[in-house]
Structures are given as C-alpha cells and as structure tokens.
Amino acid sequence: MNNSPIGVYDSGFGGLSVWRELRRALPCESLIYLGDGKNCPYGSLPAESIRMLAETAVRDLIGRGCKMVVVACNTATAAAISHLREVFQSIPIVGLEPAVKPACKMTKSRVVGVIATERSLQGEKFLSTLERYGQGVEVIKAVGRGWVEAVEQNQEHTEQCREMVSAVVEPIIKRGADVIVLGCTHYPFLKDVICEVVGEREVAVIDSGAAVEKRVESLLDEYDLRAEDSNEARYEFVSYADEQYCERLRAKASESLLR
C-alpha cells in the first residue's frame, strides 16, 4: 500500500484525456498532473529536445513524491520512454502508444487510419507494432495539423477547427478505413467533431485512454503501490507556463470529466 500520488505528464492539456480515466477508475489515488504548457506543442520538436523536456518533467514529478509516472503523451513516449526508464529506475514509468494493435484486430475493411503528431508517427515502438500487427492491413498515417493548438486554445467547437478536422478525417474514410486511431492524447478532446465528420458511416474512433488505465492498475498491483481504500485522493495541477494557463488547465480537467 502506498498513498503517494501518481504523476501524469503531457506537453499541455492532452494528458487530461488519460487523467480522467485514472480519476474515474481509481478514486483513492491522488494525482499530480503536470502539463508543460510552456513548450507545447512537442509534435515537431527534435527528439533530443523532447527527451530533455521529459526528463525535467519526470524528475520534477518524482521530486513531488510520485510513486509512478504516466507519460500521457504519445510524442514524449515515442521520443523519450527508454531514456526515462534508464534514468529513473526507482519507479514504474508508463508510456502511451497509438492503439494500432486493437485497430488492426477490429478492422473489417482492412484499412485503418492513424492520426498522430509527426514525431509519434516516426516512433520506433509505433513502427514495430505496425510491422507486427499491421500485416495485411493498409495503415494510413496522417498528422493532425493544428489540432493540438485548437485543443490548447479551447477552439474545438469553432468552424475553423471543424474544417481542419474534416480535411484529415474525410480522405481517410474515403480510402476505406473503418477504424480511426487517435494517436495523440489531445485528440480525444476533438472526438465530438471527428464523429460529426464521420456521420452515419460505420467508422470506429478509438484512443488509448482506457488501455493505459488498465496498465496502471496492473502495475500498481505488481509493485504493491495501491493507495488504501480510506485514502482521500487529492488532485494537483502544475505547469511551466503562467498561472493563467494553470487555471485553464484546472478548468479543462473539470470539463473533461463531463465527457
């Protein structure tokens, strides 16, 4: 048993789509959410810069007493997860990867779309998963350009955002995809808009939130790290941007629980 918090880290607001799964499924666990904010978006940064940012963030969360850290960012996972596990061996570090495996199992049309950041689509783990499970499946890779910025600016429901989403999603569907993988933790905030674009067509839109939550649970058990049933969970939000950003982060977290 261990009542210390779990750290959840992302470049900005996106990791809240994982945070909300953890909060719902693990009501006794305290969570410290670190949304960098200052250096967001990470998507097109060089891998080395992302590694340095991620190392600073995870060190920070460990310094705040976290018993486990979830890197709730596909981009940071792709660029830095092995490095982080090597540097910080005292706690379990959970990473995120696009849900390619379930998508390739689910598809009937044998065409799958994966939308992620540039850096995530170049990730070694992503490419090896694709190699392993994507045999006989056409996997269409696309970058959600401007999507992270739209979520960061709370612009999800503007016409401009809808057009931006449609420009990526429509060609994927036209090529016959029946599963679309959201390979960036910001993108679930755009799920309503994506589903609007999908309309009546039979296309599943999936992300990794629930799978990561399950992984966290199994690691809590494996390392005997679960909080006591009597623990009153605390939720803290920190950022490297200004106080106003942190306020918006808290508001976005509350909003995420309504979805």
Q: Check residue 188 and report its DSSP letter.
A: G
> What pairs with residue 35 in β-bridges?
10, 239
CA distance 212 to 73: 11
Shortest reach from residue 102's CB to ligand DGL, in Å:
17
Stretch that binds ligand DGL, among 38-46, 60-68, 213-221, 222-230 (CB under 6 A): 38-46
Contact with ligand DGL (CB under 6 A) among 16, 31, 34, 40: 40
Question: Which amino acid would we find at residue 72?
Answer: A
Binding test (CB under 6 A) with ligand DGL, winner from 6, 9, 11, 169: 11
Single-letter residue type at 77: T
Per-residue binding string, ligand DGL, 66-105, x by CB under 6 A, is -------xxx------------------------------
Q: Which of residues 147-186 bind ligand DGL (CB under 6 A)?
A: 148, 184-186
Cα 214 from Cα 185, distance rounded (Å)? 16
Q: Which of 117, 208, 239, 256 binds ligand DGL (CB under 6 A)?
A: 117
The token pair at 144 is 């959600």
Least distance (Å) between residue 225 CB and ligand DGL: 24
User: x/- binding map, residues 198-237, to ligand DGL, per CB under 6 A?
Assistant: ----------------------------------------
Cβ proximity to ligand DGL, 11 vs 107, nearer residue: 11
Sign of the C-alpha dihedral, residues 73, 79, 81, 87? negative
Nearest to 111 by CA among 63, 173, 170, 193: 173
Q: Does 41 bind ligand DGL (CB under 6 A)?
A: yes
Q: Is 143 in the site for ligand DGL (CB under 6 A)?
A: no
Binding flag, residue 43, ligand DGL (CB under 6 A)? yes
Task: For residue 163, report the phi and psi dihedrals to the nearest 5 degrees.
Answer: -65, -40
Size of the site for ligand DGL (CB under 6 A): 16
Cα dihedral sign for 242, 247, 248, 254? positive
Residue 73 appears among annotated catalytic residues: yes
Residues present in the chain in total = 259
Query: Between the CA of residue 199 and those of 56, 184, 191, 195, 205, what are the distances in Å?
Result: 42, 22, 12, 6, 12
Could you give the residue numbers annotated as active site?
Answer: 73, 184
- What are the residues binding ligand DGL (CB under 6 A)? 10-11, 14, 40-43, 73-75, 117, 120, 148, 184-186
